[in-house]
Structure 1
């Protein structure tokens, strides 16, 4: 099977490529480095020639609802249109647990993406997953003021990006084989953590010094962070790799 991976060089995309190739599939990476501009839609027709399934894990580094919505609307619209022209048999999109109940900030774009996929012309599968283990390090890098790290009060259920990628590849296989379109069972990590604790552990592992201070974010997004909206429900599947195991393995090489 030939699988195109939108965002195939990113945090989860590189794992999707590796998982697909390990299962004997040919992969096509859709990114600017391979001559494809997902936002403009250029290069897609040639890239999707002969592709059986598209796995969309593209993302944009923003917390702006406007920027996120613009990005996911453009990328999803172009992928679906090009996929229909190319005869792609399954479009698999990765979304986030809770994005439908907290469509704010970055999540606003994911809500738009989900709607476009579900109404689109290509048979589809949607997987919602919780935040990746890498999210702790991203927060540490984004919200630091000198030695001080500010972290939102948040309940999180981190999941291994590799395990999410493996699930996406299986869903692509099942879709091409004729599985009914629709949402797959949500995928969360094996444990629920306070994000501040995860960030502190990441900081220790990377030799980062300085206090980590929890800050309650205002508004609807802040409430969603705190009240468990972004945690997987009881019917969700669970990954196996804990945050501590990820951190002790390949997650965060210590600074020298």
Structure 2
């Protein structure tokens, strides 16, 4: 199979490309660095020529509702219309567990993405997954300074490689609509994850529990981002991922 990976240079995208190659498929990376811009459609027709499936793992680096909705709506529409012209048989999109329960700006963009995909012209599957183990790093990268306000968020982190493998398996099969939610093996508190990642980054920062205001903050603290029903579960725990990370760092130096 020839499979186009939108966002193929990002964290999830790199793993999807590796899993596709391991399964004997031909990945095509859709990214600005390869001459493709999914937000404008530039380069899509040529890149999707001969593609059997598209896996969309694009990401909008914003917490603004307006910007997130605009990005995911534009990217999805361009991918779907170009995919229809190219004869793509299956469009697979990665989304997030619990987005309808937490009124966060970024999550509103993901909801819009799901809506556009479901109404689009290409047979589709949406896989909702929980946060990656790297989520704690994302928080630390976004918030600078010695004080770290982190919401008391309940999460069930999953290994990005396991998510990538699930996306590839879905792309190989028929369209399923909303696939069962994929989550990690164990619930964690985000603030604990952040505190445990700090030594691996050789950083000393004071981490404070600060609840987000309003309904979004309540939903995060009450488990709104946890899976609400049965579905596949990953095997790698956050502790195992952290140990693997430390071992890799020690091997490098």
TM-score (norm 1): 0.94
Aligned residue number for residue 36 of structure 1: 36
Task: Indicate yes or no: 2:189 matched with 1:191.
Answer: no
The 2-side partners of 1:17 and 1:53 are apart by 13
Task: Indicate yes or no: 2:153 matched with 1:158.
Answer: no
Task: Indicate yes or no: 2:201 matched with 1:206.
Answer: yes
**Other structure's SS at 1:187 match:** coil
**Other structure's SS at 2:150 match:** strand
Kindly report the root-mean-square deviation, in angstroms, between the aligned alpha carbons of the 2 structures: 1.6
**Other structure's SS at 1:237 match:** coil
Aligned residue number for residue 225 of structure 2: 230
The 1-side partners of 2:162 and 2:195 are apart by 24
Return the offset for 1:180. 4.4
Return the offset for 1:61. 0.9
Return the offset for 1:143. 2.2
| Contact kept in structure 2, 1:16 and 1:168, CA below 8 Å | yes
Offset from partner CA, 1:49-103 (integer Å, 9 cap, x none): 0000000000011111101000000000000000000000000000000112234
- Number of aligned residue pairs: give it: 251
The 2-side partners of 1:180 and 1:147 are apart by 47
Task: Indicate yes or no: 2:136 matched with 1:171.
Answer: no
Aligned residue number for residue 245 of structure 2: 250
Is there any run of 5+ residues in structure 2 with no aligned partner, and where?
none
TM-score (norm 2): 0.95
Return the offset for 1:11. 0.9
Aligned residue number for residue 97 of structure 1: 97
Offset from partner CA, 1:198-222 (integer Å, 9 cap, x none): 0000002221112111100012221
The worse-fitting range, judged by mean Cα deviation, of 21-30 and 148-157 is 148-157
Out of 236, 244, 249, which is 1:241 matched to? Answer: 236
Aligned residue number for residue 181 of structure 1: 176
Task: Indicate yes or no: 2:221 matched with 1:221.
Answer: no
The worse-fitting range, judged by mean Cα deviation, of 122-131 and 239-248 is 239-248
Task: Indicate yes or no: 2:67 matched with 1:63.
Answer: no
The 2-side partners of 1:210 and 1:100 are apart by 32
Offset from partner CA, 1:130-187 (integer Å, 9 cap, x none): 001111011012123x22211111001111110000000000001xxxx243111100
The 2-side partners of 1:122 and 1:253 are apart by 43
Is there any run of 5+ residues in structure 1 with no aligned partner, and where?
none
Aligned residue number for residue 5 of structure 2: 5
The 1-side partners of 2:117 and 2:180 are apart by 17
| Contact kept in structure 1, 2:90 and 2:175, CA below 8 Å | no
Aligned residue number for residue 115 of structure 1: 115
| Contact kept in structure 2, 1:140 and 1:151, CA below 8 Å | no
**Other structure's SS at 1:12 match:** helix
The worse-fitting range, judged by mean Cα deviation, of 180-189 and 238-247 is 180-189
| Contact kept in structure 1, 2:7 and 2:57, CA below 8 Å | yes
